[in-house]
């Protein structure tokens, strides 16, 4: 079997058997296309050996200049495909079997927004919500921050999964794992009620919670655009949906919420991911202690 054929069939398997989300399928297709181009149109899967895989890794890092996180994602996707080929008995054994191919990621702490920036962003979103786009932008910003959900999860959220009375929204996260986020603030529930009335006028053939002015389901790119436009109006730079998610986690931990609850709320598979936010708190604490300079105060410097 050619590598190109294997990639196509694996993507069909991911869509039909694994029922991956459209977002995950797009990411898989991009990752596999990179390997197909590297291996060449005539390469067979049984010709993919350790030397080819190591060469591909070097190509991603040295030629393409990709970040370690992007390389790790591409390699993980490729490993999943070869594992599937092994289960389908197309290959006797995956070339990844016992292959020492560890990609170490640099430690990057999540970047949460300062409280003042959050207030400016939320106030700006609420100031211009008369039209469809303005109201959609406010709903997007407030839901991403108050629930900590991913932008892809918001894009796939449905009206039928929303319970305004109970204050809950069921969403589908990574790995098709369903979880519930909570709308504990009466203001956000009132905002969503207004949004539902607005979307009813344009959305006729979709259950998607977030829709464009033409009534089509909102894409992740459209929602990111809502956040970016609102941030620009607030005079803020580099504001992304994921920074709002980071901000939600940081605010919850600083409010004393148990880290295991935050893990469940954010849909982290491993608590080690959630623990990165405790490092952010420690960093902030260190900065505060340094600024206080208690030794200097005792010596009369403060």
Residue 95 φ then ψ, to 5°: -65, -15
Token pair for 120? 């400016």
Beta bridge partners of 131: none
- Annotated catalytic residue: which of 28, 56, 120, 277? 277
- Annotated catalytic residue: which of 13, 228, 242, 264? 242
Contact indicator for 166, 146 with CB cutoff of 8 Å: no
Measured distance CA(122)–CA(116) in Å, rounded: 10
- Annotated catalytic residue: which of 150, 198, 199, 246? 150
DSSP-assigned letters across all residues of 261-287 = HHHHHHT-SSHHHHHHHHHHHHHHHHH
204 is catalytic: no
- Annotated catalytic residue: which of 133, 174, 189, 224? 174
182 sits in which H/E element: strand 178-182
Measured distance CA(158)–CA(153) in Å, rounded: 10
174 is catalytic: yes
Residue 172 φ then ψ, to 5°: -110, 115
28 is catalytic: no
119 is catalytic: no
Give catalytic residue positions.
150, 174, 242, 245, 268, 277
């Amino acid at each position: 079997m050619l590598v190109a054929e294997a990639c196509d069939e694996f993507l069909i398997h991911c869509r039909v058997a694994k029922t991956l989300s459209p977002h995950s399928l797009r990411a898989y297709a991009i990752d596999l296309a990179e390997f197909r181009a590297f291996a060449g149109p005539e390469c067979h899967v049984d010709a993919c050996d350790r030397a080819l895989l190591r060469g591909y890794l070097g190509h991603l890092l040295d030629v393409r200049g990709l970040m370690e996180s992007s390389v790790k994602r591409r390699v993980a996707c490729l490993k999943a495909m070869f594992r599937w080929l092994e289960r389908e008995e197309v290959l006797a054994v995956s070339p990844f079997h016992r292959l020492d191919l560890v990609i170490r990621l640099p430690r990057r702490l999540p970047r949460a927004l300062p409280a003042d920036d959050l207030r400016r962003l939320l106030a700006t979103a609420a100031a211009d919500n008369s039209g469809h786009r303005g109201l959609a932008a406010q709903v997007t910003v407030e839901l991403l921050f108050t629930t900590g959900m991913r932008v892809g999860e918001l894009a796939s959220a449905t009206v039928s999964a929303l319970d305004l009375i109970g204050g809950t929204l069921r969403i589908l996260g990574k790995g098709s794992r369903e979880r519930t986020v909570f709308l504990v603030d009466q203001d956000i529930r009132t905002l969503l009620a207004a949004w539902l009335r607005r979307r009813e006028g344009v959305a006729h053939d979709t259950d998607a919670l977030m829709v464009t002015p033409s009534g089509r389901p909102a894409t992740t790119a459209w929602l990111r655009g809502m956040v970016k436009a609102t941030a620009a109006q607030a005079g803020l730079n580099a504001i992304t949906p994921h920074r709002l998610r980071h901000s939600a986690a940081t605010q919850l931990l600083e409010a004393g919420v148990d880290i295991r609850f935050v893990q469940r709320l954010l849909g982290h598979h491993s608590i080690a991911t959630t623990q990165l936010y405790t490092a952010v708190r420690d960093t902030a604490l260190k900065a505060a202690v340094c600024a206080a300079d208690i030794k200097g105060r005792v010596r009369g410097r403060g």
